[in-house]
Every structure is written in structure tokens, then in C-alpha cells.
Amino acid sequence: MQNIKGVLFDLDGTLLDTAKDLGASLNYLMAKYGFAQVSYQDYRLVASDGVYPLLDLGFKEQLVNFDREQLRQEFLDYYLANIAQHTELFPGIKELLANLNKHEIPWGIVTNKPAFLTTPLLKCFAEFQQSKSNISGDTLAQSKPHPAPMLLASREINVACDDIYYLGDAERDIIAGNVCNMKTVVVNWGYLKYPNEGDTWGADHIIDEPMQFLQLAK
């Protein structure tokens, strides 16, 4: 693995499968306000896009009859109180992180999730204790696809950008990594909206399962 000097990861849809807890928060609101439940197949597609797209998905045209900020706060309150009830590491992530740790390769996380959610979520998983950098969506004034969070993470793991691989499941991840001259990797196990969506994002690599990443070092 001598060709890998440092690794950065997106969080939702890359390291953690958070969709079911996000969906549970949406469906809590659906039940509270008398709307039909949203299926896993539907909410998974927007799980990493933030609260408002989830509210749009659930309330549809009726959303204009509600206070969006109030709904957002109710969603976040419920999600924070139940943040890791159903969330799991994607299969293979535990093994990948263990391999990076074994070879003393520094790694970190750059997510657009706000810190008041990121911090307690990461504490639920012992595998994240060796992360050298945890950059949230509000750590800086800018978030992905802006390069600033990526540059900060590069400094914190003490690896130059062009020696870093960045793994993510959204186009904003690849844009941010490419701007910083990082080696970008689309993870096909994430919340892509349709098969092969990431083919058009201009990433350096596309992988279907976490342990395939190690083959990039050969």
C-alpha cells in the first residue's frame, strides 16, 4: 500500500449507511401530520442531500402549507435523538479502515453534515477513533463542493493534496476533490440515484465495494 499516503472519506453514503435513520425521521413527520409513509427505496435516493430534499419528497406539493423551518427543526430534533438506531457501517468499511490503520496511513472525514450531528454520530462507532480529521459541513464558512474543507483536512492529516485519495458517493465530493488535485474515487455502494451515475463526474476511479480501494495501491 506504499502508493497510498492519505485517504479522506465522505460520511453518509460512503462510510455509514444512514438512510434508514434519516428515513425514520421523515416518516415520524409523515405520521405526525397525517401523510403516507415514504418507502426506503424512495428516501434512500435523497438520503445524503440534506433535510429539505427529504421534506420535499414526503410532503410534495403540500409543503407550501407548512413552516419549512419548523419542519426542519422537528426533523433534526428527532434525528439527533435517534441518530444511530439503524445506521451501520457499509459492508467492508471496517476492514478497509483496519487496513489503513495497520499500515499507518492517515485518514479523515469530510462531510457536509453539520457538526452537532456528525460529532455524536461518529462517537457511536469505535472504528472512527483513529480518524485524524473530522470536517463537518459547518466547520468552515464553506462546504463541499467548495475546496476549503478538503484543504483543511489535508493539513490536519498532514498529507499533500496530490497524495490523497478522496472517496465519495456524490458529484459534489468529486468536484471538491478534483479542484484540490486529489485522486477522486466514486463509491458505487452509496446513494447514487441510478446505476453508473458517477461515470460522468470525472473521477479518477470508480469502485463497487470498499476493499477494492486497496487494489488502487498496486
Give the number of other Cβ atoms within 10 Å of residue 52's Cβ: 14
Instruction: Extract the C-alpha cell encoding 13.
Output: 453514503
Kind plus residue range of the DSSP H or E element containing 207: strand 205-207
At 172, the amino acid letter reads: R
Where residue 113 falls (left for φ over 0; alpha for ψ -120 to 50; beta otherwise) is beta
List Cβ neighbours of 163 (8 Å cut-off, separation of 6 or more): 5, 6
Is 163 known to be catalytic? no
Residues marked as catalytic = 10
